Structure 1
Amino acid sequence: MAAQHDEQENGPENESGLTVALAFAANLGIAVAKIVAALITGSASMAAEAAHSIADTFNEVLLMVGLRRSGRPADRRHPLGYGKERYIWTLLVAVAIFGMGALFSYYQGIQTFTGHRGAAESDPLIGYAVLGVAFVLEGISWQQAFRQVRGAAREEDLPLIAYIRRTDEPTAISVLLEDSAALIGLLIAFGGLGLHQLTGSAAWDGAGSLLIGVLLTVVALILGRINLNLLIGSQADPRIVADVRARLGAAPEVEWVVDIVTVTFGADRALVCARLDFRDSLTAGDVERACVRMAHELRDAHEEIDEVFLEPVPRDDAELRERVIARYGRTLRPRGSDT
């Protein structure tokens, strides 16, 4: 069982590594080309896009570090492993997108509008060529990220948006959002550069830079929100929670499922804690054997469940009842009831 679980876990890990590596290679080449084009054309939009690609390249390094460090096995100091460390590094990606990409884009746009940045006098054709090549390379990276995320959503039998909201694996989501923002940003930069050339007004170029800044800010906020929820500790997939309740409630030894708490603590890793009111006729040995059996059944039914803790409690304990009601708004239903 353990070997099978490791094999299942390594598949998504390897694909996430491929997605990040491909994005890193694409962004590094694009960043160099955009820097050269920005220096030649003097375009604010192109400079903003260069900063965007530099930030994205740096971000892929952060994601690779997160993948490596979060995969370390559990030890005495970290008995649940290092899975949540991935969320910290991905949160740093959100900070970097805003700090390195969005703020520089705002700066370039404001400089243009206040007249501190001159109009581009060089032939902008090199800018168009770089934007076109960058769009192709970003498209390749985006396709890999989208394929991984869409495949994972299909495995979970969830719509793409619902999967993005629920997932506990933010690495591929980060690359997908970065690449989506990059493709949109390239179109904005192309428009700013083109309108600048057609009208002779650098305001269009500055407006393009500001729009890229807004775009990167939105992406940073979305990524930050996703990883903030994961770091705080979110509930496991509601479908898993419902099935856990049903399985525990259907156990012949259990009279009442008093409380269930589930927490994700890494990619495809969840902890289940349940308080159960066992039949009074059972002996201590019966309860122990039932707990071991039910824990095995839950882990066999859901590969995401890594740890299971079952606690025998009386269902009429007033303090426990208040805590359950405070968490769920009501007590849990007895065994045999629909979820």
Structure 2
Amino acid sequence: MPEADVKTESVGTVVVAGAANLAIAVAKLVAGLISGSAAMLSEAAHSVADTTTEALLYLALRRGARPADVRHPFGYGKESYVWAFLAALFTFVAGAGFAITHGVTTILVHEHSGNYLVAYVVLAVSFAVESVSLARATRQIRAESRRWNTTPRRFLRLTADTTVKAVFLEDSAALIGLLLAAVGLGLSHLTGDELYDGLASIAIGLLLLVVAITLAKANISLLVGRSVPERLRHEIAAELDGLPAVERIDTLLTMQLGPEDMLVAAKVDFRDDATGADIEAAADEAERRLTARYPEIGYVFLDPTPSRPETRNRRTRHIQDEPPR
């Protein structure tokens, strides 16, 4: 897939989220310095981490979309998961680490100085801006889930496009973090006790920790070589089983090569009366059917498996077994 063919919707979602986070990060930092709020400074670190994450996700989309070459015959799709994994690590170290340590420091020092009003204004504006970014990510997820005939929740859990997944989770965490910051700041303002501000900062850090771990696990799974979703595997198997020359599918293996690239490989037992020409025609028809129905399938390999008497009654693996959960 040429670089020019990078998924426009995903790029737009990442750019919008990055621009929003950059503007919000500056506003939160100024408000945090003026108000002296630990939660507000943690939210500033949160937005800085999110902005850096969006830059890495944008790089992931661009680098992963490079076309295949001699040294990388299956393309560079998996490189996008490397950059997305680094983005998750940055969220873990910079965002969560700063928020938790700063929250603990605030509780121990127990001091506060500054104006609360500016913090409240920035929190309100930030909530509005983050809502716009989240709305765009949500629209993309709903559109993609309709295209794959599944629910948005299931699509978000199983999608190989970790960029839109990252934007959605980070924007959701940002809105929750803003609410936590507002509650902590408000309680500290009312009671004069900075304990609540520090606790809010720690809660924001833990929230970022959960998001970072979730995204890191998803990217590691895809880097290792995750199969396509189970329902899609069954549909691919049904398409292959429907070919006239096919007796049965002994083994079907699939793998996500990138956000928009899949590999399908199968050991196929063709009918005993199928000629070489029939097998060649079946292989061409299989690729035509699968790529027409699922444009994301970039490679289809069929391995003819001879039907022998001693193997007719053996227990064969028709599709990949689900890994233990």
Give TM-score, length-normalised by structure 2.
0.92
Report which stretch shifted further, 252-261 or 212-221.
252-261
CA distance in structure 1 between the partners assigned to 2:149 and 2:46 by the alignment: 34
Residue 72 of structure 2: aligned partner: 78
Match in the other structure for 2:112: 120
Q: How does 1:48-197 map to 2 (within 5 A)?
A: 48-115=42-109, 118-197=110-189
Spell out structure 1 runs of 4+ moving beyond 6 A: none
- Give the stretch that moved more between structures: 276-285 or 213-222: 276-285
Aligned to 1:262: 254
Structure 1: which amino acid aligns with 2:170?
A: E
Partner residue in 2 for 1:20? 14
Q: Contact 1:258–1:315 (CA<8 Å) still a contact in 2?
A: no
Give the distance between the partners of 1:105 and 1:120, measured in 2 at CA. Answer: 17
Q: Which amino acid aligns with 1:29?
A: A
**Cα shift at 1:122:** 1.6
Shift of residue 258, structure 1, vs aligned partner: 1.0
CA separation of 1:286 and 1:327: change in aligned 2, threshold 3 A: closer
- Confirm or deny that 1:282 pairs with 2:268: no
> 2:252–2:320: 8 Å Cα contact kept in structure 1?
no
| Distance (Å, rounded) in 1 between the aligned partners of 2:146 and 2:320 | 31
Question: 3-state DSSP class of the match of 1:114?
Answer: helix
Summarize the alignment of residues 230-241 of structure 1 with structure 2, pairs less than 5 Å apart: 230-241=222-233
User: What is the RMSD of the two structures over their aligned residues, measured on CA atoms?
Assistant: 2.1
CA drift of 1:142 comes to 1.1
Partner residue in 1 for 2:297: 305
Give 1:244 deviation, angstroms.
2.2
Displacement of 1:36: 1.1
- Normalising by structure 1, we get a TM-score of 0.88
Q: Classify the secondary structure of the residue corresponding to 2:244.
A: coil
Matched to 1:146, the amino acid is T
Q: Which runs of 5+ in 1 are unaligned?
A: 330-339
Aligned partner of residue 247 in structure 2, secondary structure = strand
CA contact (8 A) 1:43 1:119 kept: no
Whole-angstrom distance in 1 between the partners of 2:321 and 2:38: 52
Q: 1:64-83, CA deviations, whole angstroms, 9 ceiling, x for partnerless residues?
A: 11111111111111111111
Which deviations, in whole Å up to 9, do the C-alpha atoms of 1:165-213 show, x marking residues without a partner? 1111111111111111111101111111111111111101110001001
Question: Hey, what's the Cα distance between the residues in 1 that align with 2:19 and 2:271?
Answer: 60
Contact 2:237 2:249 in 1 (8 A): yes
**Counterparts of 2:22 and 2:170, CA distance in 1:** 14
Per the TM alignment, residue 323 of structure 1 is displaced from its structure 2 partner at its CA by 7.9
Out of 29, 36, 47, the position equivalent to 1:42 is 36
Q: Deviations over 1:48-98 (max 9, x none)?
A: 111101101111110111111111111111111111111111111211111
Identity, in percent, stands at: 43
* Aligned counterparts of 1:225 and 1:130: Cα–Cα separation in 2: 33
When the two structures are aligned, how many residues end up with a matched partner? 318
Where does residue 332 of structure 1 map in the other structure? none
Q: CA deviation at 1:298?
A: 2.1
Q: Please list every run of 5 or more consecutive structure 2 residues that lacks an aligned counterpart in the other structure.
A: none
Does structure 2 conserve the Cα–Cα contact (< 8 Å) formed by 1:256 and 1:315?
Answer: no
Counterpart Cα distance in 2 of 1:241 and 1:215: 34
Distance 1:289 1:157, change over 3 A: closer
Counting only pairs closer than 5 Å after superposition, residues 220-259 of structure 1 correspond to structure 2 as 220-259=212-251
- Conserved? CA contact 1:19–1:172, under 8 Å: yes
Instruction: Name which of 16, 24, 30 aligns with 1:30.
Output: 24
Residue 198 (structure 1) aligns with: 190
